[in-house]
Each structure stands twice: as C-alpha cells, then as structure tokens.
C-alpha cells in the first residue's frame, strides 16, 4: 500500500488581510501568499474580480475552517459607474452592447438609490461564477451562449452617492451582504436611469470583521521577502502580519475554558459552561483556552458542544 507523502510547507495558521492589487486574480493572490509564507494550506473569503482592488481576507492553515464566518459578513465597496454604455461583462472588460447619449443628474441618481436598499431582487451578471445547469455562467457566456440566470434576493444595507467627478461618471459606496454583485447594481441603475452604465473602477474597502487599518499590500509582502537573507528570516519578518484565527469569529460569543475542559473539548466531549457572563444558549459560539481558539460549537442548556475542533 502506498504511503501518504508528507505535506509540503509550514503548518502555520492565521488570517492575512491582503490589499489585492487590480490586475491580479484572487486565486493568484492566494497562491502568491501561500508561497511567501511557506504555508501548507490557504484559501480566501470572497472572490474579487481581477479588475477590482482592495480587501481580500486570506486564511492560512486551520483558519480555512473559519472562512464561512467571514463569507457571511457584510462587505463595503466603493465603485465608479461610467454612464452611457452597457457592456457584456458589466465592467470595463467586455465589449459595448448598448449605448445612450443621456446622462443622469445628481437628483435623478439620488432619487433611485432607496430602490436599491434593503432586501432586493438582483440578477447576477452573465459573466459570473453562478452555476447554470452545472456550468459556470462565465464559461457559457465566453462560448457565446445567452445565459438565463434567475434573480436572487440579496441584502443591501446602504447605497450612497459619494461624488460626481465628471458628467459621465458617479462614485458610489455600498454596504451589502453575501452574493450581492456591484456590477449588477451599476447595470440596473443605468437601465432605470435610461442611460445605461457599467463599473469602471471597483475597490472593496471592508469585509466584516476585518478593518481597513489591517490591510497589507502585496508589494509590502514582496519587498519584505526580497530583503530577507534566508527563508527563515523571510518567515520571521512576514509572520507578524498574520492575525489570530479567532479574528474571524468576532461576531460570536466566546466561552473561556480551563486547560482540563479544553482537553475534553478536543476529544469531542461537551463541557459545562462556567462564568458569570457565559451564555446559557447560543446557536454558535467559540471556545478558548489561554486566549487561543479551541473549538466552534453550540451552547445548549449551559453545555458547550464542539462541532469543529482546532489545534489538534
């Protein structure tokens, strides 16, 4: 029987809040970070189109187990809509499919924004990762097929007009939930205004629970790596950029454990939740020992029951 080979890379875990540059795909960014840190495993929380820049949270090692909690978090985007054209991709990349000489006024734009907040129905772009009949929509669209994508309910917390830098453009900021397409907002606003529109520039500024102050640029990482005289020196210089795994769980209640209780949890056993502020019931919570994440689970009738264990 063939024996499983040893995993390549370091078994380190944590979150890196990358400021992804425009022109780089999310998968390429993850691969680059994985190599720079010499990590065994890496993933990201929410794809950014190659043309977009901004916050791309990257999980290394066991942090990949907490990716779903970041995926569910609210996101903030600042984007520029160019009026007068609709494009096949709803951004700069695709050819023009419709055009208009009309240009909206500030008052006309502001009057429409409330229509795009709250729970709304939105049709994803033709060029998107949505699966249609088992195929990615963008693969079908590239083959020239007209893809019928059903509208979906998404949540938009706010949509603000930031500025009008010139008559043919408008800068907006949106705070939205999982599955919302900024390109669809630009397309639909353009149609409703009777002038057409597409995203000319897009930057993701926030992904809850991470903050803009935590952003690290790819350039800074590469320069740090280039200055290192050895691999060990490179890792020593880069590792301080990593945040603890539990940073992704900011919205969940924490259950502090003793060392003995942590051992029981790691064996898959429930433990009694102790402490004046400990939750009696919680559909999701995370347990810690000495400030480190031990497990994610539920609290039922004063008992913490692990579902996913860390650090074994």
Quick one: which H or E segment has residue 1?
Answer: none
Number of Cβ atoms within 10 Å of the Cβ of 266: 17
**Residue with structure tokens 């898959």?**
268
Write down how long the chain is: 312
Q: Which residues of 26-50 are buried (b: 16+ CB within 10 A; e: fewer)?
A: beebbebbbebbbbbbbbbbbebbb
Annotated catalytic residue within 19, 28, 49, 244: 49
> What span, in angstroms and rounded, lies between the C-alpha atoms of 289 and 93?
49
Select from 246, 240, 239 the least CA-distant residue to 291: 246
| Cα 232 to Cα 252: distance, rounded to the nearest angstrom | 35
Q: Is there a contact between 306 and 296 (Cβ–Cβ < 8 Å)?
A: yes
Is 101 an annotated catalytic residue?
A: no
Tokens of 86: 């609709």
Strands 53-60 and 42-44: antiparallel
Residue 215 preceded by cis peptide, ω within 30: no
- Cα angle, residue 69 at apex, residues 19 and 234 outer, rounded to 5°: 40
- Enzyme catalytic residues: 49
């Amino acid at each position: 029987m063939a024996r499983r080979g040893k995993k390549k890379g370091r078994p380190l875990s944590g979150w890196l809040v990358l400021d992804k540059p425009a022109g780089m795909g999310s998968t390429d960014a993850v691969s680059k970070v994985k190599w720079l840190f010499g990590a065994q495993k890496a993933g990201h929380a929410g794809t950014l189109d190659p043309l977009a820049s901004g916050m791309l949270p990257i999980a290394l090692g066991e942090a990949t187990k907490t990716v779903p909690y970041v995926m569910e978090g609210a996101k903030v985007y600042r984007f520029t809509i160019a009026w007068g054209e609709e494009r096949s991709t709803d951004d700069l990349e695709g050819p023009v499919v419709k055009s208009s000489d009309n240009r909206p006024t500030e008052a006309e734009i502001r009057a429409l924004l409330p229509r795009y907040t709250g729970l709304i129905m939105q049709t994803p772009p033709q060029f998107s990762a949505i699966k249609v009949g088992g195929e990615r929509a963008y693969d079908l669209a590239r083959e020239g097929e007209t893809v019928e994508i059903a509208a979906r309910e998404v949540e938009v917390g706010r949509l603000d007009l930031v500025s009008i830098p010139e008559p043919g453009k408008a800068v907006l900021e949106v705070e939205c939930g999982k599955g919302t397409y900024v390109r669809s907002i630009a397309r639909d606003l353009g149609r409703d205004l009777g002038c057409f529109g597409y995203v000319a520039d897009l930057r993701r500024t926030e992904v809850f629970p991470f903050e803009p102050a935590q952003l690290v640029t790819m350039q800074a990482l590469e320069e740090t790596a280039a200055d290192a005289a050895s691999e060990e020196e490179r890792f020593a210089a880069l590792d301080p950029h990593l945040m603890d795994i539990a940073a992704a769980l900011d919205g969940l209640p924490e259950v502090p454990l003793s060392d003995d209780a942590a051992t029981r949890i790691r064996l898959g056993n429930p433990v009694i939740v102790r402490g004046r502020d400990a939750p009696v019931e919680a559909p999701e919570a995370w347990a810690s020992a000495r400030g480190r994440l031990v497990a994610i689970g539920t609290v039922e009738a004063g008992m913490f029951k692990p579902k996913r264990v860390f650090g074994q």
